[in-house]
């Protein structure tokens, strides 16, 4: 039986080696050798000597730093409001604010274009009100729009991390500081921010990783003016066909994100420790400043989340033929850039997501069980690496290492499983660690077998966490874009790939179909998110 359990533990390790380590090793090989197998550093030499690549690297770092700073600037005061002040609809607002995190980048891009693009609702309204000939808001293909989209994505993630950590801290430290005369801004600088440093650092690092590896937002909203490492890897591979340079860029990105993820896993272990008994610190707003803080927080979150998504729905039903945007998804006129009707992509995505969920849950539960063993905790960072690794880098690695399998239907679900696996692990692992050891020991004393202990003791306790992880896997697969753009076959596109193709084509019909497809994908992801919120246990799970 012990040998059998050891064999089961090897399954997720073998999966990680075969479909993560091996493709990345092939990228490393391509970046360091030429076609004859000789050492070739020309790719790295280009990166170091050509100003364009240095500027790309600098822009990648710079925009990630600014995005992180803006996200924390909104998340920290928001965390104070959610932790300390009581107001109607707080739980609903927190849940609603997290919705962007599960939305695909192509949907976000379409939403912001529908709201503040040249042909967006806001510009149309202003042109009508002030009788203008042109759009007064010109944010398309600008850095400002990229930063706004990054904040849209990540502010709720940082808010949850900071608020969750803050809610577990005793308020007595602040009370003692007030007795000693520390109030106002001094209370923030001397007490609150130092107390929150672990959560602030972990949240900042996670947001930086997400924005450092940003792809869809920069590619679609930034256009050709802006290029991150992620976007440049895509262009060098599929447009310029310069594999050595693409491999060198992938290696630079991979080394950077790996180092950051190792640091993050160490920080995160301290932030998401055992849930302490919380002291009740919530109270109704007492002063005008506190009431204003609530109004501003609610207003910012509603505008940031509701306005773009609402504009997407409105534009989908009002652009071109309106409802015909949805009916045209079942057709594929001659000359279309797509090989199949767009509606086929819906069934493809559902099928890929179903297979991904099946694989990710099995591998995720096995991985989480493995990581509960003291001797295997060092593997925690290794299984988190797919979360920090660019999906574009992963897709490029599959293109290099597993090109012979590109025609295989399972290659897309395998790539999606690798991306979704950390989400399953981060939800199941805390639930497993929270099970008291005496429960399984008591069952063992009563004669229960290891498989019986799992079925009758462990599974009922972690069942909700597994269901949340499964929903995450399904939603992540539905919205995965970077890897799918590399490996999805032309006759089996996914919904994000179809949206991207349609957005890149001229014509009202293509734009309307892209909006319609985005609304469908947003609806599926929102439904999955509602399931997650319904099943999730408060305070459980890890980012």
DSSP readout, 224-269?
GG---HHHHHHHHHHTS--HHHHHHHHHHHHHHHHHHHHHHHHHHH
Yes or no: say if 267 and 195 are a contact pair by the CB < 8 Å rule. no
Annotate 297-308 with b (16+ C-beta within 10 A) or e (fewer): bbebbeebbebb
Nearby residues of 370 by Cβ (< 8 Å), 6 or more positions away: 9, 12, 13, 376, 379
Judged by DSSP in three states, 446 sits in coil
CATH 1.10.3720.10 residue window(s) in the chain = 1-34+334-537, 55-318
What pLDDT, on the 0 to 100 scale, is given for residue 90? 81
pLDDT in tens, the chain (543 residues): 555 566 777 899 999 999 998 988 888 787 777 666 677 777 777 777 888 888 999 999 999 999 999 999 999 988 888 888 888 888 778 777 777 777 788 888 888 888 888 888 888 888 888 888 888 888 888 899 999 999 988 988 888 888 888 877 777 777 787 777 777 778 878 788 888 888 899 899 989 988 998 888 888 888 888 888 888 888 887 788 777 788 888 888 888 888 887 787 777 666 654 444 445 567 788 888 888 989 998 898 888 878 898 899 999 998 877 888 898 888 877 666 677 888 899 999 999 999 999 999 999 999 988 888 777 767 877 887 787 677 777 887 887 787 666 666 788 999 999 989 998 998 888 888 877 777 766 767 666 666 666 667 777 778 888 888 898 899 989 988 888 888 888 888 899 999 988 888 888 888 899 999 999 998 888 888 777 777 765 545 554
Q: Look at residues 228, 504, 240, 147 and name the one whose alpha carbon lies nearest to residue 393.
A: 228
Contact at 8 Å (CB) between 317 and 121? no
Which among 367, 360, 363, 361 is positioned nearest to 429, based on CA atoms?
Answer: 367
* C-beta of residue 471 within 8 angstroms of C-beta of residue 423: no
- Indicate the angle between helix axes 90-98 and 288-318, nearest 10 degrees: 50
What pLDDT is stored for residue 70 in this prediction?
Answer: 95
* Helix-, strand-, coil-residue percentages of the chain, each rounded to 5: 75, 0, 20
Q: Write down how long the chain is.
A: 543
Tokens found for residue 421: 């696996």
DSSP 28-84: HHHHHB-TTS-B--HHHHHHHH-HHHHHHHHHHHHHHHHHHHHHHHHHHHHHHHHHH
Give residue 452's pLDDT: 67
| pLDDT value, residue 4 | 55
Collapse the DSSP code of 95 into the 3-class scheme (helix H, G, I; strand E, B; otherwise coil) and give the result.
helix
Structure pTM?
0.80
Grouping H, G, I as helix, E, B as strand and the rest as coil, residue 283 is strand
Per-residue burial over 159-179, b = 16 or more CB atoms within 10 Å of its CB, e = otherwise: bbbbbbbbbbbeeeebeebee
Distance from C-alpha of 263 to C-alpha of 524, rounded to nearest angstrom? 34
Q: Is the dihedral of CA 215, 221, 223, 226 positive or negative?
A: negative
Query: What residues pair up with 39 in beta bridges, in sequence order?
Result: 33
Q: Which residues contact 172 (CB under 8 A, 6 or more apart)?
A: none
- For the domain 1-34+334-537, what is the CATH code? 1.10.3720.10
Going through 62-158 in order, the beta strands assigned E by DSSP cover none
**Could you tell me which of 200, 192, 103 has the C-alpha nearest to residue 529?**
103
- In angstroms, the CA 519 to CA 309 distance is 9
Residue 277's pLDDT is 43
Phi and psi at residue 250, to the nearest 5°: -65, -40
Q: 55-318 belongs to which homologous superfamily?
A: MetI-like (1.10.3720.10)
């Amino acid at each position: 039986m012990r040998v059998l359990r050891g064999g089961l533990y090897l399954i997720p390790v073998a999966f990680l080696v075969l479909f993560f380590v091996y493709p990345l090793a092939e990228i490393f090989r391509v970046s360091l050798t030429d076609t004859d197998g000789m050492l070739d550093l020309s790719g790295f030499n280009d990166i170091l000597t050509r100003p364009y690549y240095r500027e790309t690297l600098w822009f990648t770092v710079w925009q990630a730093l600014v995005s992180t700073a803006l996200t924390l600037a909104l998340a920290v005061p928001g965390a104070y409001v959610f932790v300390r002040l009581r107001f109607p609809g707080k739980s609903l607002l927190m849940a609603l604010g997290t919705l962007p995190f599960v939305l695909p980048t192509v949907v976000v891009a379409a939403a912001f274009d529908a709201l503040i693009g040249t042909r967006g609702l806001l510009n149309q309204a202003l042109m009508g009100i002030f009788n203008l000939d042109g759009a007064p808001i010109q944010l398309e293909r600008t850095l400002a729009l990229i930063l706004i989209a990054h904040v849209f994505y990540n502010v709720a993630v940082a808010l949850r991390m900071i608020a969750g950590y803050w809610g577990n801290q005793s308020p007595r430290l602040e009370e003692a500081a007030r007795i000693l005369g520390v109030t106002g801004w001094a209370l923030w600088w001397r007490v609150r921010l130092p107390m929150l440093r672990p959560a602030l650092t972990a949240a900042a690092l996670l947001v930086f990783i997400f924005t450092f590896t940003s792809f869809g937002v920069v590619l679609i909203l930034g256009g050709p003016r802006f290029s991150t490492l992620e976007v440049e890897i895509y262009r060098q591979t599929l447009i310029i066909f310069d594999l050595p340079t693409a491999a060198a860029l992938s290696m630079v990105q991979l080394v950077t994100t790996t180092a950051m993820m190792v640091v993050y896993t160490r920080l995160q272990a301290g932030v998401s420790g055992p849930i302490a008994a919380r002291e009740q610190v919530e109270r109704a707003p007492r002063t005008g400043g506190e009431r204003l803080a609530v109004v501003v927080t609610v207003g910012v979150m509603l505008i940031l989340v509701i306005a773009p998504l609402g504009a997407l729905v409105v534009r989908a039903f009002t652009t071109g033929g309106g409802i015909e945007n949805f009916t045209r998804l079942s057709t594929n006129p001659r000359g279309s850039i797509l090989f199949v009707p767009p509606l086929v992509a819906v069934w493809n995505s559902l099928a890929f997501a179903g297979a991904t969920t099946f694989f990710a849950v099995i591998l995720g539960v096995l991985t989480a069980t493995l990581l509960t063993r003291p001797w295997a905790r060092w593997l925690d960072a290794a299984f988190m690496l797919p979360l920090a690794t660019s999906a574009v880098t992963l897709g490029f690695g599959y293109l290099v290492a597993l090109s012979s399998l590109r025609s295989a239907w399972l290659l897309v679900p395998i790539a999606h499983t690798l991306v979704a696996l950390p989400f399953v692990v981060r939800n199941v692992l805390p639930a497993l660690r929270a099970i008291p050891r005496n429960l399984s020991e008591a069952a063992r004393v009563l004669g229960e077998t290891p498989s019986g202990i799992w079925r009758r003791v462990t599974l009922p306790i972690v069942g909700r966490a597994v269901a949340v992880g499964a929903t995450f896997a399904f939603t992540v697969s539905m919205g995965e874009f970077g890897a799918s753009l590399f490996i999805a076959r032309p006759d089996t596109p996914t919904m994000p790939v179809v949206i991207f193709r349609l957005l890149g084509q001229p014509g009202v019909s293509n734009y309307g179909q892209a909006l319609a497809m985005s609304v469908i994908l947003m609806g599926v992801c929102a439904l999955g998110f509602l399931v997650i919120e319904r099943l999730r246990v408060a305070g459980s799970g890890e980012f």
